[in-house]
Structure 1
């Protein structure tokens, strides 16, 4: 059987849009293309994959998807979903497999209804699955409840489901017990890594990388740094990225008395980010919510251990093995998070070597290349029925 004609539906495209999900779908499109599939990437207008992408970008809608705080707007979700529906109605027999991001979940229904009556296989990809409480906190009581109900219905759409972590797989199975989702391997998204873990910079510094939005809990870093400096007096921090919570993080640094040792670097070029990843003594990711936690793998590719925080919505904690490639803090309380940072810094070269070894092993066993091959095989099996 020939390779499938594929469409991927998501409202963002890397590198114009930055984020873990954006990188996953971009690389997925490239891998399908490398296998010989014709691939359409259905997204917002004004996005260009570049001349050597190997897939076509199809813009169907224009607009901003989030407000100033980084929260997705319901009006944009509806607008994009309607545009996706119209597109697939017009092109309903041009694809064998459509991979649709379930963020936002309206996309799932748009694709499914547009393709009713065709043999096209719909694969729904779940970056995250939230509890009712999380939806209400994120979107308010009314919109959050509606979103939760739509999510609960959406998991029953599609003949194939994919997820980013075992954490999300377990969540999905709560709502669709007979599902058999593919857990995507994503560690190889960050490349091959270094041959050996290098030494961290002196004096040591902790690194934060990500958008400055409420879920990332960046404001927890300065007081934790202050607590860690009691054991490691020379420890500093570098904060990469930007967002609506930057000012709050600056105020937190002032309040904790560490403003002079926290450098807010803003968005940095890729080569500078690579240098920071390699020089950092530890990556600190106090996020409350991660669908995967790709930044942990990025740090590990340089031999840099990570500190993450346990939580019911944080799949990044799955990636960290205490004492092997970092530590999982029980909370963002300054003394608790600070103690985990100290353990990672004092782990020194032995911890950096074991972190590099972890990455070398995991990039082979958690490979997106292998996951795309599994997805194609699942499509073949479903299509032959």
Structure 2
């Protein structure tokens, strides 16, 4: 088959992240099975319009919002060539592919954005976005199959009107970490990995650092990632009096990312919403446990509570849980061992095989 993925961004995009990594892993799995695979995504300064990497062709056009119109028009006009299956990757908004092609459409969705719309786009824009996601899209794709990454998201899809029997779960996998020399940091270190945007709530990690200063005066926070909210976070660190102990690393390469995870005593994931939380497994490869909000959804599956990490409900509980892990070496080792075991159980190969089966099912093969 020729499978076309319609995605907002790809991993080379400055704002690319875990969901884009998942898409490309699934695409490469299809390519390795002999399928022709194209990923249509947004362009960005310096990006190649067309390139092939890892057996997957990337076609980039349009910017943050223009990409939706570009992909719709190109699919309608058959500019991607003969397509047998379309994978509509819905990151809040669909690509309306159901109206642009008669070919089968498989919807890939990491999580429902109910909580994020009013945070990222307050007012009318957010209300319209949520209406499209929760009302229009389920009706538009009422004959399509869905793939999501967690049971939590599957239940959210059912809640907005998607038939349970049309939703399959294909979990994230974990790539073995590169070999790294050197021990874990001798002083307590907290880390956060992800895009610097409001709904990631990195402020909560900065608050945790400030609130634990008296108990752990040597505690530092490493923040790996970048985004348009970065300056607000730097100002917040200044306001809390901990700017000298917060290290903003910006975008980092794979080696640096894994070095930071290996050195950290604990990772904080204070996100408002996560479909799964890819970095949880990456931290787990190094025996680094994660503390996250249970209400984020997918974290309830990527983290085994009090076995591979800790799930909490409030910022106060986040601080208390992280403080407890920092203060108790035995508890930290126990959670770290559990995190390592959990990460080792997740395989991208198994996920790729499962996704390929869902593609064949959606295409009627």
Aligned position for 2:6: 9
Measured at CA, do residues 258 and 93 of structure 1 come closer, stay the same or move farther in structure 2, by a change above 3 Å?
closer
How far apart, in 2, do the equivalents of 1:130 and 1:358 lie? Answer: 27
Aligned position for 1:68: none
Residue 341 of structure 1, CA deviation: 0.7
Q: Give 1:231-380 correspondences, 5 Å limit.
A: 231-311=215-295, 313-333=296-316, 336-345=317-326, 346=328, 347-361=331-345, 363-364=346-347, 367-379=350-362
Determine helix, strand or coil for the equivalent of 2:166: coil
TM-score between both structures, scaled by the size of structure 1: 0.82
Aligned position for 2:130: 148
- Please give the per-residue CA displacement for 1:226-264, whole angstroms capped at 9, x wherever unaligned: 333444443222122223333333333334333332222
Aligned position for 2:190: 206
Aligned position for 1:23: 21
Determine helix, strand or coil for the equivalent of 2:55: coil
Measured at CA, do residues 173 and 89 of structure 1 come closer, stay the same or move farther in structure 2, by a change above 3 Å?
same
Preserved CA contact (<8 Å) 2:50 2:59? no
Preserved CA contact (<8 Å) 1:185 1:367? no
Residue 365 of structure 1, CA deviation: 9.2
Residue 11 of structure 1, CA deviation: 2.7
Determine helix, strand or coil for the equivalent of 1:321: coil
How far apart, in 2, do the equivalents of 1:330 and 1:142 lie? Answer: 29
Aligned position for 1:114: 100
Preserved CA contact (<8 Å) 2:106 2:359? no
Q: Which moved more, 1:209-218 or 1:246-255?
A: 246-255
How far apart, in 1, do the equivalents of 2:285 and 2:194 lie? Answer: 17
Residue 303 of structure 1, CA deviation: 1.3
Matched residue count: 353
Residue 354 of structure 1, CA deviation: 1.9
TM-score between both structures, scaled by the size of structure 2: 0.87
Residue 52 of structure 1, CA deviation: 4.3
Residue 304 of structure 1, CA deviation: 0.8
How far apart, in 1, do the equivalents of 2:165 and 2:48 lie? Answer: 34
Preserved CA contact (<8 Å) 2:177 2:258? no
Residue 97 of structure 1, CA deviation: 1.2
How far apart, in 2, do the equivalents of 1:40 and 1:201 lie? Answer: 42
Measured at CA, do residues 279 and 44 of structure 1 come closer, stay the same or move farther in structure 2, by a change above 3 Å?
same
Preserved CA contact (<8 Å) 2:275 2:298? yes
Determine helix, strand or coil for the equivalent of 1:187: coil
Q: Is 2:59 the counterpart of 1:62? A: no
Preserved CA contact (<8 Å) 2:282 2:343? no
Aligned position for 2:151: 166
Aligned position for 1:70: none
Q: In structure 2, list runs of 5 or more residues that go unmatched.
A: none
Residue 199 of structure 1, CA deviation: 5.3
How far apart, in 1, do the equivalents of 2:120 and 2:53 lie? Answer: 38
Preserved CA contact (<8 Å) 2:153 2:297? no
Determine helix, strand or coil for the equivalent of 2:315: coil
Preserved CA contact (<8 Å) 2:119 2:199? no
Residue 6 of structure 1, CA deviation: 0.9
How far apart, in 2, do the equivalents of 1:194 and 1:100 lie? Answer: 32
RMSD of aligned Cα (Å): 2.7
- Please give the per-residue CA displacement for 1:205-229, whole angstroms capped at 9, x wherever unaligned: 0011112211111122222123334
Measured at CA, do residues 246 and 85 of structure 1 come closer, stay the same or move farther in structure 2, by a change above 3 Å?
closer
How far apart, in 2, do the equivalents of 1:330 and 1:178 lie? Answer: 27
Q: In structure 1, list runs of 5 or more residues that go unmatched.
A: 66-75
Residue 283 of structure 1, CA deviation: 0.7
- Please give the per-residue CA displacement for 1:91-118, whole angstroms capped at 9, x wherever unaligned: 28712211111225240x2x111213xx
How far apart, in 1, do the equivalents of 2:179 and 2:252 lie? Answer: 24
